[in-house]
Every structure is written in C-alpha cells, then in structure tokens.
Amino acid sequence: MAGNTSEKLQQLRQILAEVTDLNRAAMLLEWDQETYMPAGGVQGRADQLSTLLRLSHVRFISDEVGRLLESLEDEVAGLAFESDEASIVRVTRRDYDQACKLPPDLVAEIARAGSVARPVWEKARHDENFTLFAPYLEKNVELNRRIADALGYKDKPYDALIDRSEPGMTTAELAAIFAELKQAIVPLVADIARHSEAVDDSVLYRGFDPDLQLSYALDVVKRLGYDLVRGRQDISTHPFSTGFGPGDVRITTRVSRDFFNECLFGSIHESGHAMYNQGMSTEIDRTPLWDGASPGVHESQSRLWENVVGRSLPFWRHFYPSLQAVFPEPLRGVDVTAFYRAVNKSQPSFIRVEADEVTYNMHVLLRFELENELLEGTLKVKDVPEAWNTRFKSYLGLDVPNDREGALQDIHWSFVSFGIFPGYTIGNLISAQLMEKIRADMPDLDAQIEQGQFATLLSWLRKYVHRHGRKFTPNELLERVTGKPLTAAPWIAYVQKKFGALYGLQAAHRS
C-alpha cells in the first residue's frame, strides 16, 4: 500500500501545488492592487485575476482530482485522522465537492452580479438611497438561495452558506450562541452608556506624527513575534494580511494623525493574522491545508493579539514608557492607567468596523438575523432599512440617522456572500475560549506580557492552533484544545469582568 499511496498522493499533491501557486499569484496581484498599482491598472488587473482564478478552478475540479481522491480515500482510511496524508485527502474532498456542486453558469452569474452591484452600492451609499440598491440586493438574495440549494442543507438555507465559510457550524448552533450574547451584552451596553463619562479617551485625538506611529507599530509587532524576514508592512486604505507561503506573509496598515488607535491596533490585528500563517507547518505548504481553519479561527488570532493582549493593562505597563518617549507631547500628563482606559473606551456607534470590543458582536447579530430572514423570505428587501433601524435601537440604543450609517454601510451585500459576518463574532469568542485555556496552562502570562515576553504565548498558539492550518474544522480544533465546541461563556465572562472594572459597574448589573 505504502508505495502506491505515496505515488498517488504525490500526483494529487502535484496538482494541488499548481492550484495553490495560481491562487497565490492571484493574491499577489490583489495585494499589488491594494498597495502600489496605479489607478489606470484596474481593468487589466481584473482580466489577469479572472484568467488566473479560472485556470486554478479548472485545474482543481478536473476528473483527475476526483479519481485520485477516490482511490486515496481507501488508501488513507487506516491512517490517523490528524496525519498530513489523511487530512489532505479529507479537506481536499470537502473543497472539491463544494467546487463541483456549483454549476459553472451560476459561478459566472455570481461574479457578474457582484461586479454590477458594487458601483451601484457605492452610489446608493453615497446618496443615502437604499431604493437604488434594493433590486441588486434582491438579485443577491436569489443567488444566495441558489448557492444554498446547489450545496444542499438539512435544516435552513443559511446552513449551507455558514458551512461554506465555517465548516461544520450550523445556523441553530449560532442562533443559540447569539441569543446568549444578546442576553448578556444588551444590558452591559446600556450600563456602560449610563457610565460613559467614566472613561476619557481624548488623549487619542491629540495628534500623533504618522511616520513615528508607523515605525513604532512595526517595532511592536516585531516584538510580538511577527517575523519580518518572512514578512513586510505596507500602507493600504483597508488593512489586511495575505500569505503567499511560509516564507512571505505580509500585512498592511493605515495611519491617521488625528486618531491613535488606527495604526497601532490595526498593525497588531493584522500581525495576529500573519503570525497564524507564519506558524503553519511547512509540511502542508502548497496544499489546501495551508490556510486558516476558517475565517472565524483566523479572526480569533488577530483579535487575541489586538484586544486580549494589546488592550490589556500588562501590555501597556510594558510598552507605555517607550510610547511616551516617542510621543512626549501628546502623552504629557497621561499615566499608563489613563492610557489603558482610553484605548478601551466602549461606546455604541453606527459603523461596525469602528465598533469596540463590547458592542461589536451586536453589529454582527443584527446582520446574522437579517440575512437569515432574507433567505427564508420572512423579510422583504424593501423592508431592510426599517428592520435594521428598529433592531439597532433595541440592541445598541441609537437612532440610525440614514442608510449610509445603517443598512448600506457594508460592502458585503454588494457581492454575493451571505454567511460571512458570523465569522467576526466567532473569532471574538474563540479568542476568549483559547485564552481561558492559555491562562490555565500559563499562570504567569500577565507577568510575561508585562516583561515584554511573548515567545511562550506564541509557541503555545503555534503548537495548538497555527501549525495545523485547515486540518481541523473550527469545532474539531476547539474540542481538541479546550475540550469544548464553540461557546460564548468565556468571552462574556471576559468582557463583563474587564468592562465592569473599567466603568465601575455593579456586579448585579453584570450577571
């Protein structure tokens, strides 16, 4: 068996390597588009990307891959579940079936609908005119239904879309988690709003030299463990991280003179993503395993570094003296505790991407509910703004002034991709669930952070999360590491404790 298996597996790995190379070349073109490409390059770049992605898709869904998978499935049946060989076959099968289930004309229609809707969404958002965008959203709802039908589902159409981005998760499981979050967070948000004067964040707006911010942020992420021999940082409008393989994982950031948080916390966030990719085993490089377990698990790594570590008091006890040395003017008269409090200010706001740790998941809950109802047909597209505004008031206590700051704010609904938003909340929850286990394994974590030592924490993440790549589904990974599937309890306990202390809230309000 061994000789045969390795020969067939080598054939499969050869094809997967070519597919990966084509995809990575496309990603590099996208990186270039977001960082250095002149505006005139847009049309040519769209052509190049579509050619590369078509070639990679055709190579991947070939009959040859189907035949190899079939014979390899028998042959790896006796191998351990977590072995590289069995995992490559298992995960490639999952991707292959999904890719083959979507008919080519549907795939083409999805691409077309996305590129047509995008400029209309931009105009509608600019003009605060939802009616303009409504027919395109209707089309996208229909296409999402067709994707769900093509992929198949047991219970709800949303299951098919969730499973596509967060393998193994169901709508019912997420609905239960969101219900738990809503029950705990809506009263916490209201309580914080009543004590909003307890935290003053005006220091963050005092003006910080952009070049100094960039070099300081790069120094911080280097100290956290982001390897710059295998990475680099550039500027883009929307920060992101992208990996072209173990030796080249890049981040981008943005910087604002008038608001401190953007550059440093953005850089920490993206380096959290990048350290995940840098930690993946080289043995699984150029296979479908070399990637995050899911967008949600990927987001857990960025949030863990950005929020749980980067917005902690021990972190600032270590870094604040050097920050003050770089920015003596804006930080004059502000001590470390005041600064720690400032970077943690919580306040309901309209825009999801600007939301703080506490309120963020309520923005996601709202979208999760509306996407579900649109798919089920219980909510009509024309009624989306009203449904949005009513729920926003009830979850975050604010009256949405217009659709630009309401139902039209996200780019996501302009291309066909329902089922993406929950990943952001899943990431927040996983970061807290992992941290609970990390603290049990490393009781002196806070002391290490205060001394600027992050190597043990990073090694822990590499060992239990990073090196596996996509070997495990999110829940398989969590059960292996923490003994439980995804649960909201650690995150709820974390924000209740942290923000209860920051805002001086009564424990009774927080139960």
Q: Are 100 and 61 in contact (CB under 8 A)?
A: yes
Q: Which residue has tokens 């200010």?
A: 345
CB nearest Zn ion: which residue? 302
Helix (H) / strand (E) element for 74: namely helix 63-75
The number of residues that bind Zn ion (CB under 5 A) is 1
- Tell me whether residue 270 is one of the annotated catalytic residues: yes
CB 59: neighbour CB atoms within 10 A?
15
Q: Per CB under 5 A, which region of 29-37, 87-95, 296-304, 342-350 contacts Zn ion?
A: 296-304
Q: How far is the CB of 298 from Zn ion (least distance, A)?
A: 7
Which CB atom, from 56 or from 302, has the smaller least distance to Zn ion?
302
Which CB atom, from 331 or from 364, has the smaller least distance to Zn ion?
364
Closest CA relative to residue 174, chosen from 474, 464, 379, 389: 474
Chain-centroid distance of CA 280 in Å reads 17
What lies within 8 Å, CB to CB, of 465 at 6+ separation is: 276, 279, 293, 297, 301, 434, 477, 481
Q: How far is the CB of 306 from Zn ion (least distance, A)?
A: 8
Q: Are 221 and 271 in contact (CB under 8 A)?
A: yes
Q: Are 184 and 361 in contact (CB under 8 A)?
A: no
Ramachandran quadrant class, 419 (left: phi over 0; alpha: psi -120 to 50; beta: rest) = left
Q: Per CB under 5 A, which region of 7-15, 297-305, 454-462, 465-473 contacts Zn ion?
A: 297-305
Alpha helices in 81-196 (DSSP H): 84-101, 104-127, 130-151, 157-165, 171-194
Q: How far is the CB of 270 from Zn ion (least distance, A)?
A: 7
Which CB atom, from 268 or from 488, has the smaller least distance to Zn ion?
268
- Per-residue binding string, Zn ion, 308-347, x by CB under 5 A, is ----------------------------------------
Q: Per CB under 5 A, which region of 87-95, 148-156, 295-303, 321-329 contacts Zn ion?
A: 295-303
User: Considering 166, 262, 270, 306, which one is annotated as catalytic?
Assistant: 270
Q: How far is the CB of 191 from Zn ion (least distance, A)?
A: 28
For residue 402, give the amino acid letter.
N
In DSSP terms, 242 is beta-bridged to: 250
Distance CA 111, CA 323 (A): 46
Q: How far is the CB of 300 from Zn ion (least distance, A)?
A: 10
Which CB atom, from 206 or from 412, has the smaller least distance to Zn ion?
412
Q: Per CB under 5 A, which region of 58-66, 183-191, 298-306, 495-503 contacts Zn ion?
A: 298-306
Which CB atom, from 160 or from 343, has the smaller least distance to Zn ion?
343
Q: How far is the CB of 273 from Zn ion (least distance, A)?
A: 6
User: Site for Zn ion (CB under 5 A): which residue of 253, 302, 312, 359?
Assistant: 302
Which CB atom, from 307 or from 389, has the smaller least distance to Zn ion?
307
> Where on the chain is the footprint of Zn ion (CB under 5 A)?
302
Active site residues: 270
